[in-house]
Structure 1
Amino acid sequence: MKKFGFLIMFISLAVVMGACSSNAQTTVKVGISGSDTTVWDFVAEKAKEKGINVEIVRFSDYVQPNLALAEGELDANAFQTVSYFDAFIEEHNLDLVPIATTVIAPMGLYSEKYDSPEELPDGATIALPKEATNMGRGLLLLQEAGLIKLEEHFDGNGSLDKIIENPKNLQFETLVAAQTPRVLPDVAASIINNGIAVDAGFSPLNDSIFHENETATPYINIIAVNKEDKDNEVLQQLADIYQSGDVKELIEEEYDGNQIPTFVPLDKIGW
């Protein structure tokens, strides 16, 4: 009888432990930069259904999230473009890799006078950010719009002498990025960074006459992890959740074109 009672207790304990195990959650720490957690809050809710507890860790700069990831304080981060990531890990000799793409915050070409790049007349003046990286991104945008052609193997650092074809003889007014919206009345068009455009009341998707899309691969944002974790099942599952249709719809509705969901294969971004 005692043996029977012990057996019942053992089975009951096993059932309880099994139930606890099935409800156990794996915690994943994800680092972001800034205070906007809208998308990751939504991803966290979806992940919870699959037994993944997402802990969002906020940073106020663009340096610490990568260092914290490399030191094992985070499991993943999601805040940076491919271009920034590639340069950072090379400079700091970090063993980090991307596991998924997320969004692009598109740079745009804006005009108060014309409705498309094709309408820009010969000799038109384009305002262009003068910082090397911003200018390089702007020149790539103009090339994508079919207005200029850049030298082969363009390295992304802006310089007007890297333009090898300019069939409309466009003129360029270079100025600090923050000034690019203010000169719109005085130029044919102006290239404006995403954040500056949004602050000026513009939607890149609705108000620009041309903007970046998924072909601007250096400027797509990514989810990054330590190289040793690139095949981790939980992190891959989290990446799949981010790239789901529900998250895509949320980004499109929430940001009105200020961020565009850009879910492309890693080989498209050089990985």
Structure 2
Amino acid sequence: MSFRPALILVTVLAAWSAASSAETIKIGVTPGPHAQIFEAVKPVAAKQGLDIQLIEFSDYVVPNAALDAGDIQANSFQNQPYLDNQKADRGYKIESAGLTVNFPIGVYSKKHKSWADVPDGGKISIPNDPTNGGRVLLLLRDKGVIKLKDGVGFKPSVLDITENPKKLKFVEVDAAQAPRSLDDVDAAAINTNYATQAGLDPVKDPILREDPKGPYVNLIAVRSADKDKPWVKILVDSYHTPEVKEFILTKFKGAVLPSW
């Protein structure tokens, strides 16, 4: 029985060594699904020596500024069209390290049970950032609600509407405030993370819903200077595991879709 103290000592030293060699990174996320998914990623990454600390941001603007400034090492909240727009506007040296999930955007209403009930001249709130606002306009175009100019790409604006048979009035609001606009408009386009925070069901509640197959898959972003660092591969590989995929499918029941 005399070997036990030595065995305990070896175990303690091994645990201490693993902890001391772990690399710590800060990842910016928005509250809701992105944060919840990364809570499932954290223990997977920890087994590979990567300690993840989550920093929550309440909007879509600050996470890229914080990443570019080096205040965080990665973020997870945006899709490629949004990142491209931010880089073009602000000169960020940021890029995608890997794909994560898709959140089909929905149009919700407290006043109407179906889109057909929305009256002529109805007020529709859409996000005020070019990517998400344009995404909603493309959704409305694809559903036959409006027509847009040819060649508008992924970021059309209300100025690109060529036909609006119902004479809908579009109200642009900050994406995070969209759920609050429901009382004041006939319908509101709301990103999934903000919809779930507001207690909405992104599968059952929308009166219109985006096709989940599209360009709006979310991603993990890192600084261009960091893209080849070993921790980036560990981070992405930890996300792209069967246990994380199972967590997403079980937790969100189709509101959030694994897209890698």
TM-score by length of 1: 0.67
Change (3 A) 1:150 1:80: same
Residues 1:228 and 2:225 aligned together: yes
Match of 1:32 among 28, 35, 40: 28
Alignment of 1:1-271 (within 5 A): 23=18, 25-34=21-30, 37-59=35-57, 62-110=60-108, 112-114=112-114, 120=116, 127-129=123-125, 131=128, 133=130, 135-154=133-152, 156-159=155-158, 162-164=160-162, 169-175=165-171, 177=173, 178=178, 181-182=182-183, 190-194=187-191, 197-198=195-196, 201-217=199-215, 219-256=216-253, 260-264=256-260
Please state whether the residue corresponding to 2:246 is helix, strand or coil.
helix
CA RMSD of aligned residues (A): 3.8
- Deviation per residue, 1:200-249 (Å, 9 max, x gap): 542121112332244442x4432111213323343123212213332233
Letter in 2 for 1:31: I
Change (3 A) 1:173 1:148: closer
Q: CA deviation at 1:43?
A: 0.5
Change (3 A) 1:199 1:240: closer
Please state whether the residue corresponding to 1:205 is helix, strand or coil.
coil
Change (3 A) 1:91 1:158: closer
Letter in 1 for 2:166: L
> Which has the larger Rg?
1
Letter in 1 for 2:221: A
CA distance in 1, matches of 2:22, 2:197: 38
Letter in 2 for 1:235: V
Please state whether the residue corresponding to 1:202 is helix, strand or coil.
coil
Letter in 2 for 1:38: Q
Matched residue, 1:5: none
Matched residue, 1:268: none
Q: CA deviation at 1:262?
A: 4.3
Change (3 A) 1:56 1:172: same
For structure 1, the residue ranges without an aligned partner over 5 or more in a row are: 1-14, 265-271
Matched residue, 2:6: none
Q: CA deviation at 1:48?
A: 1.5
Q: Does structure 1 conserve the Cα–Cα contact (< 8 Å) formed by 2:102 and 2:259?
A: no
Please state whether the residue corresponding to 1:207 is helix, strand or coil.
coil
Change (3 A) 1:230 1:213: farther
CA distance in 2, matches of 1:210, 1:249: 27
CA distance in 1, matches of 2:53, 2:117: 52
Q: CA deviation at 1:172?
A: 0.9
Matched residue, 2:5: none
Please state whether the residue corresponding to 1:42 is helix, strand or coil.
helix
TM-score by length of 2: 0.70
Change (3 A) 1:126 1:200: farther
For structure 2, the residue ranges without an aligned partner over 5 or more in a row are: 1-9
